[in-house]
Amino acid sequence: LTKHQMLREELKQHFSLFPPNSPPMAILSSVLNALSCYYPELLEIQDEETFTEATARIMSKVRTIAAYSYRQQLGHHIEYPHPRKRYAENFLHMMFSQPHNEFEADPALVDALDLIFLLHADHEQNCSTSTVRMVGSSEANLFASVAAGVSALWGPLHGGANVAVVNMLETIRDENISVGDYVAQVKDKKAGIRLMGFGHRVYKNFDPRAKIIKKSCEKVLAKLHINDPLLDIAKELEAVALEDEYFIQRKLYPNVDFYSGVILRALGIPKEMFTVIFAIGRMPGWIAHWYEESKATKISRPRQIYTGSVQRTYQPLAERS
């Protein structure tokens, strides 16, 4: 991964062509796709050696592209990766270093980011993973397939859940709403307010990843002596919801997104980069699914069930209003 972390000078020119304040996910998807133009020998993967080479390049370069996309949004110069820093540590270095002031991440921050990457590495057939598999089933190359996964993850209902959680917690704080009142609004269907970060399509009890991230969040904030009121609000929300029959009956428990936004804030990651962090972490899972799908021989072809009118009377065009 260290060997392949640099970007070619020609590829770096792509970043300067994006307008200021371009969404980092747009840049990430575009530049991942553009990698295919620079490594044509990796477009057709016929053996393990070629697959390993393509995987190493994508896994390494995705964090470099992500950090560059953030700096491009700010109008800052590009910071090169450091040859002697670990994977997550190097990402933080490229994100936050300034000229003549190299960012030295606290080991607790590096470990926390490592954990976030690990916990997001794979989670079966979600929207973005299914997208990668479907695109790959057409024999599209690995670069194009993971770029499609990034685009699917960009949707707020998929990759933006932890942003929604932080927005909810900030609303409770800024509007001075008590947790009890907010929970009451959530239970009132007429209010149209949702409790973000609760519930999961697969888990009908506590998301095991949420427990791990919560412990890490508390550890990081304590280590850095950060008193974040959002963590206090989140813990109070969790405690109230877990004792409320409304949420118990509906099997609504905290999921991985409930605390991940709080810990990313502690790491200094801005909200517009939350989904990018998700994409970096999910990359090995996407690649593994793509490789598994590449063994299949048929293109993916979903079926539809028609739910419209069974029979309609034809009306000549001249008689239509």
Provide the annotated active-site residues: 200, 257
User: DSSP character for 176?
Assistant: T
Rg of the chain over all Cα atoms, to the nearest angstrom:
22
- C-beta of residue 24 within 8 angstroms of C-beta of residue 66: yes
- C-beta of residue 25 within 8 angstroms of C-beta of residue 279: yes
Amino acid identity, position 147? A
Nearest to 147 by CA among 285, 6, 31: 31
Structure tokens that stand for 158 in this block: 């998929």
List Cα–Cα distances, 289 to 49, 66, 131, 133, 199, in angstroms: 17, 22, 10, 6, 25
Per DSSP, the residues of 101-169 read B-----HHHHHHHHHHHHHTS--SS-HHHHHHHHHHHTT--HHHHHHHHHHHHTSTTTTTHHHHHHHHH
For the chain, the farthest-separated pair of C-alpha atoms sits apart, in whole angstroms, at: 76
- Count the neighbouring beta carbons within 10 Å of the beta carbon of residue 111: 18
User: DSSP character for 80?
Assistant: P
User: DSSP character for 214?
Assistant: H
